[in-house]
């Protein structure tokens, strides 16, 4: 990781957390009150747009966790590179040297925490962070076999700040920006995964239409 990338991450985190801790009393009050209540199980799917070297790339995450009063979300996620990126490689295939077009893979599991620091009227803003580990590698398939090479374990840290606006009943839109850093980069692949990330999302509010009542004896 270069010095410029490290500085960029530090600045982003400083600006994000400085904004929160300027209101630290409210921050700790939100957390304290949220954890006093019984959490609900939640499931989310989200995606972040970024760059892998000069390639436009989207990473998709499947998250399961606990929702504490719509203020704190904690849990685990599985993320994968959704965009198809191919890299030319010279390898020995069936004792002959040949050039192949191998597909790039990135899969990792993370723990995450999302803090909703503003929720008023139709606006909502949150600060998610996640840290995880997994593998990136190249895969090449033939009609009969598949070959995996340049496989290496890596650690990924991501954070962003994003907001959403409720357009109409049950539907909202949102956007955000952040940063992804890959530690233990796979130099054999020759791609740079550390990058700014951009978020554009459509948000659904199903309980606007379905809000079950709890019946009591």
CATH of domain 3-206: 2.40.160.20
Q: Determine the pLDDT at residue 16.
A: 53
Q: Is residue 18 pLDDT above 80, yes or no?
A: no
Q: Determine the pLDDT at residue 14.
A: 46
User: Over the stretch 103-132, which tens digit does the pLDDT of each residue have?
Assistant: 999 999 999 999 898 888 889 999 899 999
Say how far apart CA 162 and CA 201 lie, in whole Å: 10
Residues shown for the chain: 217
Where does the pLDDT of residue 206 fall: very low under 50, low under 70, confident under 90, or very high at 90 and above?
low
**The model scores a pTM over 0.85:** no
Q: What percent of the chain has pLDDT over 70?
A: 80
Say how far apart CA 9 and CA 40 lie, in whole Å: 32
Average predicted confidence (pLDDT) for the chain: 82
Q: Determine the pLDDT at residue 207.
A: 60
Where does the pLDDT of residue 63 fall: very low under 50, low under 70, confident under 90, or very high at 90 and above?
very high
Q: Determine the pLDDT at residue 215.
A: 39
User: Over the stretch 147-198, which tens digit does the pLDDT of each residue have?
Assistant: 898 999 999 999 999 999 989 887 889 999 999 999 988 888 989 999 999 9
Number of H helices, E strands in the chain: 2, 9
User: Over the stretch 19-34, which tens digit does the pLDDT of each residue have?
Assistant: 555 555 666 677 777 7
Cβ atoms 20, 28 nearer than 8 A: no
DSSP letters along 132-171, please? EEEEEEEEEE-SS-EEEEEEEEEEEEEEEEEEEEEEETTE
């Amino acid at each position: 990781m270069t010095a410029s990338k490290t500085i960029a991450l530090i600045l982003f985190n400083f600006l994000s957390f400085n904004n929160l801790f300027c209101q630290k009393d409210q921050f700790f009050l939100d957390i304290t009150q949220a954890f006093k209540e019984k959490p609900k199980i939640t499931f989310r799917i989200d995606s972040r747009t970024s760059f892998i070297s000069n390639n436009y790339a989207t990473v998709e995450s499947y998250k399961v966790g606990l929702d504490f009063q719509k203020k704190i979300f904690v849990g685990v996620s599985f993320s994968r590179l959704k965009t198809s990126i191919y890299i030319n490689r010279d390898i020995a295939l069936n004792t002959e040297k040949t050039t192949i077009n191998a597909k790039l893979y990135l899969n990792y599991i993370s723990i995450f925490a999302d803090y909703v620091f503003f929720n008023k009227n139709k606006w909502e803003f949150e600060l998610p962070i996640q840290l995880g580990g997994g593998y990136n590698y190249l895969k090449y398939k033939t009609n009969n076999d598949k070959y995996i090479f340049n496989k290496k374990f890596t650690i990924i840290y991501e954070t962003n700040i994003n907001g959403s606006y409720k357009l109409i009943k049950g539907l909202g839109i949102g956007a955000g920006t952040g940063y992804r850093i890959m530690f233990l980069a796979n130099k054999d692949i020759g791609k740079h995964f550390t990058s700014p990330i951009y978020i554009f999302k459509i948000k659904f509010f199903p309980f606007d239409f379905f809000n079950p009542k709890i019946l009591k004896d």
